[in-house]
A and B are shown apart, each in its own frame.
Chain A
């Protein structure tokens, strides 16, 4: 009896055909990797399997019986559990309360405590049941997600990008838990865009590209290069290795014994940080979220004040924030307006000294130029920013940051959520900026990306900054990221 089969699934989101006729079969007791680029439809497909989203067409067959899953509660009753990509715990509630909520249990304290304890035992993971969820560091938040998913009788576990924000060692630990689950009789689907991890852990692989299955079969029968090709459908454009950092120039960012307060909640996120960034070099930040890297980046960008110590930054500073739709752009504003947003102090279309006015005609023309120069694919400068794809939105944000010819460029996770080609375009822009003489400071939650693009790498762990020795191996860097006990993350989740 096959635990889960999806047949002929179609799903539209407005004009976007996210899933096009996908057949997906889960074998009993296996770890099945679902691979694909960002936007390929993997999450959508699993959301359909979990009852979060209704398919436009097609069947969901659980244990041989076709079901019309209308809600996650129904899915859970059938034994399907999901660990989501974004943390779905209520930050202000305790671990136990979150488990109760997910499992549908009564919050009466004594009974709940017993049940929660039982779950911890069964799953083989433990947490402090009374801790508010917002106080958990990232890895424990992930643990809570798994416990929540497994709290009730779950035989099919869907994991959506579970290792995206974990350090290498934490990711390994998680995958071990998944293995143990399948050895106990469960079946797991691992949605990921990380090739290596998928091939190392999974028994079976299915690759999605643009909403369709391009490959499905045992891991043993395929290798990384072929999978990559199935993922992006063609040869990957040559990614040029970083040009040797030509004698880096003057120091543009200098921090000495810098302390920065936590953004949002109290406490000090960054302590005694000493580092520098020179013109023409790309300095990468490797860190597990919540360890202070956000405060470092934002202090460098001038958005957070130093608490103690020294921080000298030679402006102007171009900033690419982590969240392009809530921090970088105003989705309902036009592209012109979004460009004016970041450039109103320097742009030529602002006239007057005392009562500064905007010449919108000039702004529109200027915007059109910028769109052209930075290859932002849009019908015109007047369309709302929300209508652009993620990749083009990011191009716009970067264009705006670079247009002011910054001395320093600070970029937070600039390739997050982008498909491979768009991500490469972003990396190319960063390299070009460095080549032109900017001092580039970039953070990515993807360690491999950092290692590939940066001339130098700084690790931020537990609020302290350490420089990575040249030629360090990936594992070493990963260990450094976990060196000091991870600090408490802020309650809204640093995303």
Chain B
């Protein structure tokens, strides 16, 4: 295998792996900019994944995508009601939601497909080649010959940027995230803004789950998100809560995970468990390297009554 094919394949794998992360991270960025840290995002992704599987089996991939978006939004809506509406602790609420999602998806999955359920096969989404661009050497294959969810993710980044920095609502979101009390004094409905941001974030996370099932793995397994939602939270930090930074961080992540394939292709034998650990360890390292020097939205995780 010559070097260009290797690199192209590696990059393509990286982008593919990064897609669910980017979708979830973009959604979480919006929420965190509004001051909400949603650990339930893992649950939203997982719920989206199951919904995508069920939807695709009954109506094809796009039905799956729609179902996933709704499922993710639903999980986030519960979070919004409890943590934003009622003011409950965000971290504990998010953890509880993810826990509940484990249970619910597991139970639903077993009920639908039986206890064994191995090798459930779901029609995956085909690769869509962007005319012209996909022919660019190396990069073309990596970025412009991917399944649909990747393009959705790529569109989400500039969309979020424009939303946050060029619209009135985005300004309100940023104000709420930095200083809920100042935002309220300016007449912004803090809880409503946060809730909307959270639900949209959940919707994107659901899409991330869909991309995992429909465009990457092609099946559903219990707890298949394996912490990707939490990794997405770390990616938001690494990307400094800016859509472009988050995109870069997600891509970096994808490349780290895709190293696995490079090693395999090169014939190196390494226990696969090390590759399992790698993304998490890298995340921790990256967080350590970055966090001290960046500033989160000042009102992140705090209640609406407190001064930002």
Contacts and interface: CB of A to CB of B under 8 A. Distances in A.
A105 B166 CA distance: 11
Interface string B285-299: 000000000010110
Contact of B179 (A84, A91, A108): A91
Given A101-B172, A101-B188, A89 B182 contact: yes
Interface stretch (A92-100, A118-126, A211-219): A92-100
Interface string B171-189: 1101100110111011110
A307 B212 CA distance: 53
Interface stretch (A17-25, A68-76, A311-319, A329-337): A68-76
Contacts of A492: 298
B308 interface: yes
A86 B308 CA distance: 12
Contacts, number: 62
A477 B70 CA distance: 65
Given A88-B182, A104-B168, A107-B168, A93 B175 contact: yes
A73 B187 CA distance: 5
A52 interface: yes
Nearest to A492: B298
Nearest to A88: B185
Nearest to B168: A106
Contact of A106 (B167, B178, B183, B298): B167
Residue of A71, A90, A107 ringed by the most chain B CB atoms within 10 A: A90
Interface residues of B, number: 23
Contacts of A102: 186-187
Nearest to B185: A88
Contacts of A52: 185
Contacts of A108: 166
Interface string B10-29: 00000000000000000000
Interface in A207-260: none
Nearest to A148: B186
B172 A90 contact: no
A88 B188 contact: no
A101 B178 contact: no
Nearest to A72: B187
Nearest to A495: B307
Interface in A472-495: 492
A483 B182 CA distance: 31
B170 interface: yes
A107 B170 contact: yes
B165 interface: yes
A6 to B, nearest CB: 20
A386 B200 CA distance: 38
B308 to A, nearest CB: 7
A116 to B, nearest CB: 14
Interface string A149-182: 0000000000000000000000000000000000
Contacts of A92: 174, 178-179, 295, 297-298
Interface in A377-410: none
A76 B182 contact: no
**Chain B binding surface, main DSSP class:** helix
Contacts of A90: 174-175, 178-179, 182-183, 308
Nearest to A493: B307
B223 to A, nearest CB: 38
**Chain A binding surface, main DSSP class:** loop
Contact of B186 (A72, A91, A106): A72
B74 to A, nearest CB: 30
B7 to A, nearest CB: 40
Nearest to B180: A90
Contacts of A105: 168
Given A72-B187, A102-B186, A91 B165 contact: no
Contacts of B165: 107
A105 B175 CA distance: 14
Interface string A39-76: 00000000000001000000000000000000111001
Contacts of B170: 107
A90 B181 CA distance: 9
B186 to A, nearest CB: 5
Nearest to B295: A92
A47 to B, nearest CB: 10
A104 B175 contact: no
A93 B188 CA distance: 15
B185 A100 contact: no
Given A91-B178, A93-B174, A107 B167 contact: yes
A97 B174 CA distance: 10
Contact of B171 (A72, A76, A91, A100): A100
Nearest to A491: B298
A150 to B, nearest CB: 14
B175 to A, nearest CB: 5
B175 A101 contact: yes
Contacts of B183: 90, 101
Interface in B118-177: 165-168, 170-172, 174-175
Interface string B273-308: 000000000000000000000010110000000011
B218 to A, nearest CB: 43
Contacts of A148: 186
Nearest to A89: B182
B187 A76 contact: yes
Contact of A107 (B166, B178, B298, B307): B166
Interface string A99-141: 0111011111000000000000000000000000000000000
A107 B171 contact: yes
A84 to B, nearest CB: 6
A84 B185 contact: yes
A52 B188 CA distance: 12
A93 B178 contact: yes
B168 A88 contact: no
Contacts of A91: 178-179, 298, 308
Contacts of B298: 91-92, 492
Contacts of A76: 187
Given A101-B175, A101-B188, A102-B187, 13 more contacts: A52-B185, A76-B187, A84-B185, A88-B182, A89-B182, A90-B179, A92-B297, A93-B175, A97-B171, A101-B183, A106-B168, A107-B168, A148-B186
25 contacts: A71-B187, A72-B185, A72-B186, A84-B185, A87-B182, A88-B182, A91-B298, A92-B179, A92-B295, A93-B171, A93-B178, A100-B171, A101-B171, A101-B172, A101-B175, A101-B188, A104-B168, A104-B187, A105-B168, A106-B166, A106-B168, A107-B168, A107-B170, A108-B166, A492-B298
Ranked 7 nearest A-B pairs via Cβ: A88-B185, A73-B187, A72-B187, A90-B179, A92-B178, A107-B171, A90-B182
Interface of A: 52, 71-73, 76, 84, 86-93, 97, 100-102, 104-108, 148, 492
